Structure 1
């Protein structure tokens, strides 16, 4: 059995150990040490990273009370120097202790029970058994949590048998029938936990709730602590500073200026839409005037397929036609009709485009296809044009 030093001293990051077992697995190896401070994944906390005799530790996991260290190759010596990536370890300690304070605070203030905990590279979250968490609740919880952090309350960890554990005001009841490890934050929380934690709440630094969202009848709370919270603040500060510069604003005027900008954008978009509709009507009239019998054909360098579909709609307001529209910008073709002819646009386009390295489809009245090159698009469009003109003879 491996001696689990991470429970005795989570701050120790370098030590010497003896390799007691080597298990080949796929193209990697599982090392068993006589003692380890590498924390294996568990309790929502990721495993540690680091090196064993300079060899990267890719993962650490526990099975049958044995701790296995996944490495790409076997060290040359049986006695090895181990080193933990302590920045990563300490971030995990900050996040995990912060999670205990956060969960305990939700329970104390709103009787919300923490049912899930996730600590990943991108985010940390807990699921609270409350169907709704309002901004006012978030503010109250966040202030209460950080008050605990600022008081620098001691964080204790110890083992208890089941009978002894029953005497404690545990926030969660243990799911095992053996001795349990308890994490106690004085006058704040008692909770069974196998993770690593800081020695006092002040080391958490700060806890910031980032957002909330509904999740399976509960509320998922996203948050960051300590160094991660500082990094998150730094990123957002850069964004806010850039917005200040772009809008010639400060923290008191930025939102007002953004709202004004968005109003102007909406007005501009509405005007552009109106003008595009007018241009499409004019274009439709021109195409109908130049049409060869029932076939209306439009070829455009700077119109999207959506623009072309709107032109087709206007064309059909003027009579019964077969419409072929080409968007050179998007390398797409649109085929549609509103006539009484026995014409299935999807079948026709599918039959023709197979000779031009295109993909697409449609139904009886309209279809579209995408092409690899403009040359193939133009050839396919001309082929369709000839076929459709033949239908009108």
Structure 2
């Protein structure tokens, strides 16, 4: 398989704390603008896309969502408010909505803790600013209080969180690293990004995360649902 050329440099992959960058508009399309580089995470892997702002001098545009381009693989589309978009070639400053990004980082890392506490395949995931949910493929009942206690313990233990890259061959040799039944790691790039919660969890993931489980803070199990005979859903929210 030949990998698509990288049209948008994905700065968020290496540094989830990076909230701003300089970029250039390379195209219009799909309801927004494509940039040569960005700090905005696009919808994918169950995680919602970032929002934020573009600015060029006194002009300012609202980024309402961020998506992977369907028409130009390797590019990222920043959906915009209004019709008057910055012209192709314009140098722009990109700012991420910091509060939304931090919520995504906290919730996404918390879902990795859930995966460690509940050793079942994952067949659905949603990470938003307001909540996170994971669907587990099992018919076993879940104990809400036990899951909450496990989350509280792992957060308090302050485990370091880091990402690294492994080869596709390494992933093939360790198929148990893939927990998701519905989303597979992208192929054709020669390498796969994995997220490690030290001593707790290791699996492929391209999302944004905190650097230590202590940064997750107070998260609560708001709901346990039986979605089907073989699906149990856990929903998380922020305390308070």
**TM-score category of the 2 structures, normalised to the smaller one:** 0.7 to 0.9
Q: Does 1:203 align with 2:215?
A: yes
In structure 1, how many angstroms separate the alpha carbons of the residues matched to 2:161 and 2:207? Answer: 13
Q: Which residue of 2 aligns with 1:189?
A: 201
Q: Which residue of 1 aligns with 2:133?
A: 125
Q: From the CA coordinates, give the structure whose radius of gyration is larger.
A: 1
The structure with the largest strand share of the pair is: 2
Alignment RMSD: 2.0
Work out which of the residue numbers 147, 151, 156 in structure 2 matches 1:150: 156
Q: Does 1:9 align with 2:15?
A: yes
Q: Does 1:68 align with 2:77?
A: yes
Q: Does 1:138 align with 2:140?
A: no
Structure 1 residues 92, 175: closer, same or farther in 2, change over 3 A?
closer
The structural deviation recorded for 1:75 is 2.3
The structural deviation recorded for 1:142 is 1.8
Gaps of 5+ in 1: 234-393
Q: 1:171 touches 1:190 (CA, 8 Å); kept in 2?
A: no
Q: 1:4 touches 1:36 (CA, 8 Å); kept in 2?
A: yes
Q: Does 1:116 align with 2:124?
A: yes
The structural deviation recorded for 1:165 is 2.3
The structural deviation recorded for 1:138 is 2.1
Structure 1 residues 167, 152: closer, same or farther in 2, change over 3 A?
farther
Structure 1 residues 49, 103: closer, same or farther in 2, change over 3 A?
same
Work out which of the residue numbers 213, 235, 256 in structure 1 matches 2:225: 213
The structure with the largest helix share of the pair is: 1
Q: 1:104 touches 1:171 (CA, 8 Å); kept in 2?
A: no
Gaps of 5+ in 2: 1-6
Q: Does 1:22 align with 2:28?
A: yes
Q: 1:124 touches 1:222 (CA, 8 Å); kept in 2?
A: yes
- CA deviations 1:348-387 (Å, max 9, x no partner) are xxxxxxxxxxxxxxxxxxxxxxxxxxxxxxxxxxxxxxxx
Structure 1 residues 176, 215: closer, same or farther in 2, change over 3 A?
same
Structure 1 residues 167, 154: closer, same or farther in 2, change over 3 A?
farther
Q: Which residue of 2 aligns with 1:91?
A: 103
Q: 1:6 touches 1:38 (CA, 8 Å); kept in 2?
A: yes
Give TM-score, length-normalised by structure 1: 0.52
The structural deviation recorded for 1:208 is 1.1
Q: Does 1:172 align with 2:179?
A: yes
